[in-house]
Amino acid sequence: MGKRTCELCGHEIELEATEEYHIVPGGVREQAGIQNSRAVRLCPNCHDELLKWYSARVATTIYDAKMKRFKAKPPLEMAKEYEAAYRMFAEYKNRR
């Protein structure tokens, strides 16, 4: 049985425990028509943390001043936001 290291915290985990996660969630990739997106191998703890980070930092809506209401962001913009949020998360994890 092999061991793998989590890309973010460097902890060694049993092979089954580490899974690959796409930085950009499936629904967004589909809508944006993205075929290849980067996947990272994370331990369950880092993955949980990443999801919380996303929900705190990735806004799915944008304020439309003309319409005076919030509207959904275009999928490609969303994909870029997820990528940027992941980079910030990785930097934050590396600092500790």
Locate all alpha helices (DSSP H) within 1-96, ordered by sequence.
26-32, 44-57, 75-95
Does 40 engage in binding with Zn ion (CB under 5 A)? no
Sole binder of Zn ion in the list 9, 32, 34, 90 (CB under 5 A): 9
Query: Judged by CB under 5 A, does residue 50 bind Zn ion?
Result: no
From residue 25, give the alpha-carbon distance in Å to each of 42, 49, 83, 86.
15, 15, 10, 11
> What φ, ψ does residue 37 adopt, rounded to 5°?
-130, 155
- 6/79 with CB nearer Zn ion: 6
Closer residue to Zn ion, CB minimum distance, 10 or 74: 10
Catalog residues that contact Zn ion under the rule CB under 5 A: 6, 8-9, 43, 46
